[in-house]
Amino acid sequence: MAAYLARRLVGLALVLLVVCAVTFAIFYLLPSDPALQACGKSCTTERIDMLHEQMGLDKPVWQQFADYIGGIAGGRTIGTGELAVRCDFPCLGFSYQTNRPVWDLLLDRLPTTVSIAAGAAILWLLAGLSTGIVSALRKGSFLDRSLMAATLTAASLPVFFTGLMALYLVVQVAEWLPFPSYVALADDPAGWAQNLILPWTVLALLYAALYARLSRSSMIETLAEPYVRTARAKGLPERTVVVKHGLRSALTPIVTVFGMDVGTLLGGAIITESVFGLPGIGQLTMDAINKSDQPVVMGVALLSAFFITFFNVLVDLFYAVIDPKVRYA
């Protein structure tokens, strides 16, 4: 198990390094100059040259990349002269526009995004799985067909449409809830939940529909396996057959997708955050893109790539724990 874990962690580091390199290439080889942005509108050629030198942009690309990686591993001082700034571990670059290290900006926004993603994930897992399982057990019944029609509808509704609909109906017309704003969990747990219930529901609706469809087909497929028939034939109670023999292996594809989805959302629930105006990583990304704050965009890209690959490894570890075949493959 330790060897397997080590192998997966090395793999994770390698993937992240490549993601770093690709991200770096995209942002630093494309035609837009961070020095020009830091300098502002009335900018002389001499000043640009000086800024290039101070920001380290005159160095060869590989050198800049090495500095960047070094910064992530152990912090660094970016630039020289009047623009020198200290950027501590893990240094993901410095945002000249906000005058803060990218990592600090990310840390500010992370709680909001984690709150949105975690709450929604719990909701959609519960709703999606139970719908899928009930449908699979009553395959072909009226209940199954209605549930599947409902999930098909929900899966076709984009979050920004359901979000606006929810804001209009629940906040504007019925006045059941206030317009969502972020309240820290530690400050006021009830307010935190009350403000987030709308974003959670809207986001979870889409995913619950997708998970219901996925778990239904996975469950039906598993229940048709010979070993399930054997379990029934030897007289096990239906509950044991469904939960222990059916659900357990039907969960496999769902766990894979769940890891991917949570990883992706942690990198910014961009649409949800922008509909409800919540200050998470997604909104940070959009602000940074609108202001061409490249170091921030790059930091977000890396952070979310990290979450995606990290959750992939977690999912694989989970398999390794429940299925010895994986460990020795």
Partner 1 sequence: MTTLVTGTAVEAVPTTSWRRLTARIWADRGARVGLAIVVLFVLLAILAPVISAMTGNGPNDFHEDKINKALGGPPLGAFGGISSEHWLGVEPVNGRDLLARILYGARVSLLISLLATAVSVVIGTLLGLVAGFFGGWLDAAISRVMDLVLSFPSLIFMIALVSVLPSGDRMLLLILVIGFFGWPYIGRIVRGQTISIRHREFVEAARAGGQGNVRILLREVLPNLLAPILVYTALSIPANIGTEAALSFLGIGVEPPTPSWGQMLQKAMSWYQVDPMFFVIPGTCLFLTVLAFTLLGDAMRDALDPKGSH
Binding residues (CB under 8 A) for partner 1: these are 15, 18-19, 22, 26-27, 30-32, 152-153, 155-158, 160-161, 164-165, 167-168, 172, 207, 210-211, 213-214, 217-218, 220-221, 224, 253, 256-257, 260-261, 264, 267-268, 270-271, 274-275, 285-286, 289-290, 292, 294, 297, 300-301, 304-305, 307-309, 312
Among the listed residues 149, 64, 50, 51, the one whose alpha carbon sits nearest the alpha carbon of residue 96: 51
For the record, the structure tokens of 178 come out as 């206030």
Give the start-end residues of each E strand in the chain: 76-78, 85-87, 94-95, 100-101
**How many residues make up the chain in this entry?**
329
Task: Report residue 181 CA to chain centroid gap.
Answer: 20
What is the spatial distance between Cα 182 and Cα 193, in angstroms, rounded to a whole number?
10
* Closer of 67 and 287 to partner 1 (Cβ): 287
* Closer of 167 and 320 to partner 1 (Cβ): 167
Sign of CA dihedral 51, 54, 56, 58: positive
* Closer of 23 and 192 to partner 1 (Cβ): 23
* Closer of 76 and 202 to partner 1 (Cβ): 202
> Minimal distance in Å, beta carbon 179 to partner 1?
10
- Give me the residue label for tokens 């899966």: 155
DSSP 176-207: -SPPP----TTT-HHHHHHHHHHHHHHHHHHH
> Minimal distance in Å, beta carbon 23 to partner 1?
8
> Minimal distance in Å, beta carbon 314 to partner 1?
13
What is the spatial distance between Cα 158 and Cα 271, in angstroms, rounded to a whole number?
10
> Minimal distance in Å, beta carbon 32 to partner 1?
6
* Closer of 18 and 84 to partner 1 (Cβ): 18
> Minimal distance in Å, beta carbon 190 to partner 1?
26
What is the spatial distance between Cα 150 and Cα 213, in angstroms, rounded to a whole number?
10
State in Å, rounded, how far the first CA of the chain is from the last one. 12
> Minimal distance in Å, beta carbon 282 to partner 1?
9
* Closer of 257 and 314 to partner 1 (Cβ): 257
For the record, the structure tokens of 243 come out as 């939960």
Task: Report residue 208 CA to chain centroid gap.
Answer: 16
Q: How many CB atoms lie within 10 A of CB 46?
A: 8
> Minimal distance in Å, beta carbon 82 to partner 1?
27
* Closer of 10 and 289 to partner 1 (Cβ): 289
